[in-house]
C-alpha cells in the first residue's frame, strides 16, 4: 500500500515526546513490511540537528502553494528528505512564519497564540501533498495537531478528487489529555461550514476541539493499547470525550505501542557507559549502574537496587502513587532516580 503518515514531530527532525519516536519507528516498520511510506512533518529549521541538510538530503521539491487559513492566504512549499536507516521518504512543510520557531508548540511553557492557525495550515498542506504526490491508500494522522485533516478529507477533498475518495483515514490518539482546544471563533480558520460546529462533531463545551474532530471524522481511530482504548471510553478516563469515543464502536482499536530495538538496544546504545548483550549483561550492566550512581552523586553500592522513572512530571504518569511508595522504598536502602 501507499501510506501517507503525518505528525507534528518525528525523530530525528524534531522531538518533544513519545509521538516523535512512534511516528518515525512506525514509518520504518511499515516500510520493512513492504509498504511505500511518505512521512509528512512541519519544517522546524531551528530544531534540526547540526548538519541535517546534508545527512537527511533536505532539498526543495514540488510546487509552491497558497492555502486559505480563515480570511488570509498563506504561502508554503515542500522540502524532501530521507528518514535515516530506511527507505521512507520525508516531506517537510515549509512555512517560516508558522514553523521557524525555537520549539514546536510553546515558548517559555506558554502555548503560541496562533497554534490553531499554524496547524490548520499544516492540515491543509497535507491535503496539498495528496494532490501533488498522491494517490494514497491510507492517510494516518496523529494527535490534535493533525485532527482537522480527517475532516478536510471527508468534507472537502473527497468531493474534489476520485483518487482521494478512495483513500482511507486513520487517526491515532497518543494522549487524550492534549486536545487542541481553541476559542470558538477559531472555527473560521478551518474554512469549514459552521454547521459542523456542533456537540456531535467539532464543538466541545463552547470551544473548537481538534482532537475531537479527528475522532469523529476519521474512518478508523486507534490508540496506544487495548487497555487505554477501553479506559478512554469511560467518564473517569475520557477527559470529556468518552461519548465521542464510545460512539465509534468497533472502529476504535487499541494497538500496543512497541519499542524500536534498532535504537533502544544496549548493544548499540551510545548513552550508556558500557554496551552489553545477553552474554555480558551481568558484568557490564554493573559498570553502567556504577557510572549512573557516580554521575548522579549517589553512593556507589553494587548491591543496592535503583528504581528509575523516566517521565514528564504529570498526574497522568502516576507520581501520586510514587509519592506514597517512595518513603518505603528509601527506607529499604533503595536508590531512586
Q: What is the pLDDT of residues 128-167, one digit of tens each?
A: 999 999 999 999 999 999 999 999 999 999 999 999 999 9
Task: State the pLDDT at residue 319.
Answer: 77
Query: Do 308 and 233 sit in the same domain of this protein?
Result: no
Name the nearest CA neighbour of 178 among 144, 207, 202, 201.
Answer: 144
All 3 cell numbers of residue 251? 472502529
CATH of the domain at 27: 3.40.50.2000
Judge whether 273 lies within some domain: no
Cell numbers at 208, concatenated: 473548537
More confident residue, 291 or 325: 291
The answer on 133 and 87 residing in a single domain is yes
Question: Is residue 329 in some structural domain?
Answer: yes
301 domain-assigned = yes
Do 306 and 212 belong together in one domain?
no
Q: What is the CA radius of gyration of the chain?
A: 22
The last residue of a domain, from among 239, 254, 269: 254
CA dihedral sign of residues 85, 86, 89, 94? negative
Residues forming a β-bridge with 59: 80
Q: What is the pLDDT of residues 254-273, one digit of tens each?
A: 999 888 787 788 998 988 99
Sign of CA dihedral 50, 55, 56, 62: positive
Lowest mean pLDDT among 29-33, 47-51, 204-208: 47-51
Torsion of the alpha carbons at 133, 138, 144 and 145, rounded to the nearest 10: -10
Say yes or no: 181 and 57 in one domain: yes
Give the residue from 254, 271, 297 where a domain finishes. Answer: 254
| Alpha-carbon dihedral 7, 9, 10, 12, rounded to 10 degrees | 160
User: Does 109 share its domain with 234?
Assistant: yes
Give residue-wise pLDDT tens across range 267-313: 989 889 999 999 999 889 999 999 999 999 999 988 888 888 887 77
Domain of residue 60 covers 2-254
Closest CA to 174 of 256, 267, 63: 256
Residue 263 lies in a domain: no
Does residue 230 sit in the same domain as residue 285? no
Cβ atoms < 10 Å from Cβ of 290: 16
pLDDT attached to residue 92: 98
Indicate whether 100 belongs to any domain: yes
pLDDT band at 6 (very low <50, low <70, confident <90, very high): very high
Same-domain pairing of 195 and 320: no
- CB neighbour class for 298 (10 Å; exposed up to 12, middle 13-18, buried from 19): middle
Residue 97 lies in a domain: yes
Residues 187 and 303 placed together within one structural domain of the fold = no
Between the alpha carbon of residue 262 and those of residues 84, 203, 267, the distances in Å are: 12, 42, 10
Any domain includes 271: no
Longest dimension (CA), the chain: 67
Does 262 fall in a domain?
no
Looking at the structure, tell me whether residues 207 and 247 fall in a common domain.
yes
φ, ψ of residue 235 to 5 degrees: the values are -60, -30
Residues 238 and 321 reside in one and the same domain: no
What pTM value is reported for the model? 0.90
Question: What is the pLDDT at residue 130?
Answer: 98
Same structural domain, 223 and 312: no
Among 254, 289, 311, residue at a domain's last position: 254
Average the pLDDT over 156-180 and give the result.
96
Sign of the Cα torsion 82, 86, 89, 91 reads negative
7 and 138, same domain (yes or no):
yes
Total number of domains in the chain:
2
Amino acid at each position: 500500500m501507499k501510506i501517507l503518515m503525518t505528525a507534528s514531530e518525528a525523530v530525528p527532525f524534531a522531538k518533544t515526546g513519545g509521538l516523535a519516536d512512534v511516528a518515525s519507528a512506525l514509518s520504518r516498520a511499515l516500510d520493512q513490511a513492504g509498504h511505500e511510506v511518505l512521512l509528512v512533518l512541519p519544517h522546524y529549521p531551528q530544531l534540526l540537528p547540526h548538519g541535517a541538510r546534508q545527512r537527511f538530503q533536505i532539498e526543495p521539491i514540488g510546487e509552491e502553494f497558497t492555502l486559505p487559513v480563515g480570511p488570509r492566504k498563506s504561502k508554503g512549499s515542500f522540502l524532501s528528505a530521507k528518514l535515516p536507516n530506511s527507505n521512507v521518504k520525508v516531506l517537510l512543510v515549509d512555512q517560516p512564519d508558522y514553523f521557524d520557531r525555537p520549539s514546536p508548540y510553546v515558548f517559555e511553557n506558554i502555548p503560541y497564540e496562533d497554534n490553531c492557525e499554524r496547524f490548520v495550515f499544516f492540515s491543509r498542506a497535507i491535503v496539498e501533498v495528496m494532490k501533488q504526490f498522491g494517490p494514497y491508500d491510507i492517510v494516518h494522522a496523529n494527535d490534535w495537531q493533525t485532527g482537522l485533516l480527517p475532516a478536510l478529507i471527508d468534507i472537502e477533498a473527497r468531493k474534489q478528487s476520485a483518487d482521494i475518495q478512495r483513500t482511507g483515514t486513520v487517526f491515532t490518539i497518543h494522549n487524550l489529555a492534549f486536545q487542541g482546544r481553541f476559542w470558538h471563533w477559531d472555527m473560521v480558520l478551518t474554512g469549514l461550514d459552521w454547521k459542523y460546529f456542533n456537540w456531535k462533531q467539532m464543538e466541545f463545551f463552547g470551544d473548537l476541539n481538534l482532537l475531537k474532530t479527528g475522532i469523529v471524522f476519521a474512518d478508523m481511530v486507534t490508540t496506544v493499547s487495548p487497555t487505554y482504548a477501553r479506559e478512554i471510553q469511560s467518564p473517569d478516563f475520557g477527559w470529556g470525550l468518552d461519548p465521542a469515543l464510545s460512539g465509534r464502536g468497533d472502529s476504535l482499536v487499541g494497538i500496543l505501542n512497541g519499542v524500536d530495538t534498532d535504537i533502544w538496544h544496549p548493544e548499540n546504545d551510545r548513552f550508556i557507559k558500557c554496551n552489553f548483550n545477553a552474554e555480558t549483561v551481568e558484568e557490564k550492566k554493573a559498570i553502567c549502574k556504577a557510572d549512573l550512581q557516580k554521575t548522579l552523586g549517589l553512593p556507589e553500592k553494587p548491591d543496592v537496587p535503583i528504581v528509575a522513572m523516566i517521565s514528564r512530571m504529570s498526574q497522568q504518569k502516576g507520581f501520586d502513587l510514587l509519592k506514597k511508595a517512595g518513603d518505603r522504598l528509601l527506607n529499604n536502602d533503595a536508590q531512586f532516580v
